[in-house]
Structure 1
Amino acid sequence: MEPKLVLALFLLISATATSEYTRPPTRKTLDFSRPSKSSSHPQQVHISLAGDKHMRVSWVTDDKSAASMVEYGTSPGRYSNIALGESTWYSYLFYSSGKIHHTVIGPLEDNTVYYYRCGGGGPEYKLKTPPAQFPVTFAVAGDLGQTGWTQSTLDHIEQCKYDVHLLPGDLSYADYMQHLWDTFGELVEPLASARPWMVTQGNHERESIPFLKDGFESYNSRWKMPFEESGSSSNLYYSFEVAGAHIIMLGSYTDYYEYSDQYNWLEADLAKVDRNKTPWLLVLFHVPWYNSNEAHQNEGDKMMEAMEPLLYAASVDIVLAGHVHAYERTERVNNGKLDPCGAVHITIGDGGNREGLARKYKNPQPAWSVFREASFGHGELKLANSTHAYWSWHRNDDDEPVRSDQVWITSLVNSECVAEKKHGMRKILMGP
């Protein structure tokens, strides 16, 4: 079968497999006309955390001979350090990527501004490392895409004084059209080159073609996360720590059943969490487990059945998900019921995708659902100290300082839940 016919077939299958609900009109896809640049010019620059006191700088060049080198220092134009990294590239049907560079820099001082340059030339960039202690603020927005709503979300986030961006899947919405990965990289570069973006995969990152292409090749090539640093064998799930929080990024679209590689890694990772060092325990993945929207109902049930007991036994505080193009926040919940020792689940898959909002909710509203709204926007999570966090939800229709939903969340770290469940966690990890 011709490659074009294969691509058309799978795009059709993908389109017909989506949930049946009426999507409202959306803002147009952005125009990405750009002046031509030299082949060695760094493009799509973004940074991510890469282990204790280290950052990974990623970028693309058209020049396949360009060096994977980053010069950096604490003063503009003065680079006291040089780091060399690795590079990769991939082909996808009729598309060939540029040279994709990944270079780890560090050790870096906490809460410090660094100036850096990629490949020995091009513009100077500026980043700020996260703080080592509370308070720390996370911006959260999933299902971004590349529309006018995406730009509005990014504009709002830019006004937020955040330290790390958390993205629970569905980045570029390239959906097989590989040039859209390039335009997405250019779109988010102003923010993603200045603060670490920690991402996990969604369904729009799959891009698999049976017998021709495995899934997630584009995503894994471009958005390398600290999976090796966290003992994972896959870029689709990993963990990291920042300023008193242990954050676990899971994969909704890789095996999660008991005894799978991801399940075994999650068990081991949770067993290593020190709540004295990181009193907050957060988890992100794409498909929500608690969802009262009519869109994507029950899609997360199997993963929840397999993994929720692990998260519950570990006293996870907050779970963040995307996929559903609307906002929803729950009470603490476990096994479908209100539970003071369960996690707060927040769905925030409404960063600006081209598919529009999911406006239809199920009624009556479940007891565990506190606030739900079909709007584009972003969330902000400020961990004020070891016991209290402030969550706020910001609609794009409002100014960024306006909070449509807000709540103080108390960590489970000093609660009876942790003491009661320590034995349960040991039993899950070690057996009867």
Structure 2
Amino acid sequence: MEPNLILTALFLISAAFTVVTAEYVRPQPRKDLQFPWDPKPSSQPQQVHISLAGDKHMRVTWVTGDRSAPSIVEYGTSSGKYSSVTQGESTSYSYLMYKSGLIHHTIIGPLEHGTVYFYRCGGQGPEFQLKTPAAQFPITFAVAGDLGQTGWTKSTLDHIDRCLYDVHLLPGDLSYADYVQSRWDTFGELVQPLASARPWMVTQGNHEKESIPFFKDGFESYNSRWKMPYEESGSSSNLYYSFEVAGAHIIMLGSYTDYDEDSDQYRWLKADLSKVDRHKTPWLLVLFHVPWYNSNKAHQGEGDSMMAAIEPLLYAASVDIMFAGHVHAYERSKRVNSGKSDTCGAVHITIGDGGNREGLAQRYIHPSPEWSVFREASFGHGELKIVNSTHAFWTWHRNDDDEPVRSDQFWMTSLVSSGCVAERRHELRKILISP
């Protein structure tokens, strides 16, 4: 047996879930996707994906087998006519018997908002095209976590592809490589059609850690392949960062790095919130992996310590929505804080139902908590359309026998428009200036 497979057997813990009766009869689990060997020239760009990299800039990431391949991106607004070229950087890593290809990261820009660009990586290979997000509302986010590489993953991606979204938000657990590094490569190929055309903004989950005590630090594969704009947002770690798009300020936090009040992450979060201008970005969103409000029996209590440390700060900052994954099901809360409904709290949405191989978390606590509005153990994805500075429309789409079904939907108003931001401004200022 290969060393990677041995490690996988040692580190994976299988979970068994009891099926509960519900109106919706869930389809059977689907197997991992198979990726037949497809030899390509070593210099041909593979696993292409893009991410936002500061104001009017985009990071293009790809992999080549050729370690001498250049990290250049040619781009322009006409197909086959590249008016600009940018040189980037490259990296690689080793993991036991595995050696990654050359991973290229190149930032292009400045780019115009709401514009289609054609681009080519490394001076050869196929042409890709991307569309930059608009400068103003409306803007649409696709949201799906815990993706993996199963038949259900493919169904989720197909449904997202039909959505006219501007940015994909992923609250952790991408490839489910789980120490088998070749699965990072197949995941990169699987998501390339979508991730090369619209920016994917991700944060880490437990399946990205891949640490081996006394031998390998965690998150090396993730950090090497999915570089996010942490430096651009003043963070010292790729595990937490922020970015702005249209009228939304979005914060990506790390559930698996220190988050107490003495941590670098907490200090960075305070500094980041101090720069948020709710006149410019009236909507404030936060993503992390482990949910704080969860009425599923899976992963109960795992987010409590992070919630205790950070919720008071985010409540004072009047965060509108918090997205999480980890629990393989969907759940939406009322506006909530300190464990109970609060009209100035955040809406919490658990959306760890992208299609992973571990299956659905089908056991819930009964009766449901008073703050829980909708919950269902089904694979799917969400779409958040922020219409203007005051209103947004959220929908969750169940993957029902390969047909996208809108199973949950609601309109929400921003905390700016409700007066909560102004009401809590003094409290926020007091927390931000505290040592």
TM-score normalized with structure 2 length: 0.96
For 1:153, the equivalent position in structure 2 comes to: 156
> Which consecutive aligned stretches of 4+ in structure 1 deviate over 6 angstroms post-superposition?
none
Counterpart mapping for 1:110-121 below 5 A: 110-121=113-124
- Identify the residue that residue 93 of structure 2 maps to in structure 1: 90
Mapped pair 1:134 → 2:130? no
CA contact (8 A) 2:12 2:178 kept: no
Question: What secondary structure is seen at the aligned counterpart in 2 of 1:420?
Answer: helix
Amino-acid identity (%) = 77
Q: Distance in 1 between matches of 2:38 and 2:271?
A: 49
- Shift in Å, 1:35: 2.4
Q: Structure 1 residues 22, 92: CA separation in 2 closer, same or farther (over 3 Å shift)? A: farther
Identify the range of structure 1 (195-204 vs 408-417) with the bigger mean alpha-carbon deviation. 408-417
Aligned match of 2:360 in 342, 357, 360? Answer: 357
Q: What residue is the counterpart of 1:15 in the other structure?
A: 13
The code of the aligned residue for 2:377 comes to: A
* SS at 2:142 equivalent: strand
Match of 1:368 in 2: 371
Would the alpha carbon gap of residues 246 and 49 (structure 1) be closer, same or farther in structure 2, given more than 3 Å must change? same
Q: Where do residues 225-374 of structure 1 align in structure 2 (5 Å cutoff)?
A: 225-374=228-377
Q: 1:299 to 1:128 in 2, by over 3 A?
A: same
Equivalent-residue separation in structure 2 for 1:29 and 1:57 (angstroms): 28
Q: Could you say which residue in structure 1 is the equivalent of 2:411?
A: 408
Give SS of 2:400's match: coil
1:201-257: per-residue Cα shift (whole Å, max 9, x none)? 000000000111000000000000000000000000000000000000000000001
Alignment coverage as a number of residue pairs: 428
Confirm whether residue 183 of structure 1 aligns to residue 186 of structure 2: yes
Contact 1:26 1:355 in 2 (8 A): no
2:34 partner amino acid: D
Residue identity opposite 1:33 in structure 2: P
Q: 1:81 aligns to what?
A: 84
SS at match of 2:415: coil
Return the letter of the residue paired with 2:237. S
SS of 2:31 mapped into structure 1: coil
What corresponds to 1:103 in structure 2? 106
Asked if the contact 2:177/2:207 (under 8 Å) is kept, the reply is yes
Deviation at 1:26, TM superposition (A): 1.9
CA contact (8 A) 1:21 1:294 kept: no
Q: Does the residue aligned with 1:413 lie in a helix, a strand or coil?
A: helix
SS at match of 1:414: helix
Shift of 1:155: 0.3
The aligned residue for residue 124 of structure 1 is 127
Distance 1:11 1:86 in 2: 35
| AA matched with 1:137 | T
Q: Distance in 2 between matches of 1:400 and 1:240?
A: 33
CA distance in 2: counterparts of 1:132 and 1:188, whole angstroms: 26
The answer to whether residue 49 in structure 2 is matched with residue 53 in structure 1 is no
The aligned residue for residue 212 of structure 1 is 215
Q: Residue 399 of structure 1: CA displacement? A: 6.5
Among 54, 75, 84, the alignment partner of 1:72 is 75
Separation in structure 2 between the aligned mates of residue 274 and residue 76 of structure 1, nearest angstrom = 38
Deviations, residues 58-90 of structure 1 (Å, cap 9, x unaligned): 000000000000000000000000000000000
Unaligned runs of 5+ in 2: 20-25
Cα distance in 2 between the residues matched to 1:203 and 1:153: 21
CA displacement at 1:21 relative to structure 2:
3.4
Aligned to 1:37: 40
Counterpart Cα distance in 2 of 1:174 and 1:296: 20
2:205 corresponds in structure 1 to 202
Q: Can you give the 5+ residue segments of structure 1 that lack an aligned partner in the other structure? A: none
Kept in 1: contact 2:399–2:405 (CA 8 A): no
Letter of the aligned partner of 2:154 in structure 1?
Q
Q: String of CA shifts for 1:289-326, please: whole Å, max 9, x gaps.
A: 00000000000000000000110000000000000000
Query: By how many angstroms is 1:418 displaced?
Result: 1.2
Q: Which amino acid aligns with 1:233?
A: S
Contact 1:377 1:396 in 2 (8 A): yes
Matched residues in 2 for 1:400 and 1:429: separation? 47
The AA in structure 2 aligned to 1:88 is T
SS of equivalent residue, structure 2 residue 426: helix
Contact 1:176 1:207 in 2 (8 A): yes
Inter-partner Cα distance in structure 2 for 1:277 and 1:375:
36
Match for 1:205: what amino acid? E
What is the TM-score of this pair, normalised by structure 1?
A: 0.96
Choose the corresponding residue for 2:147, options 130, 141, 144: 144
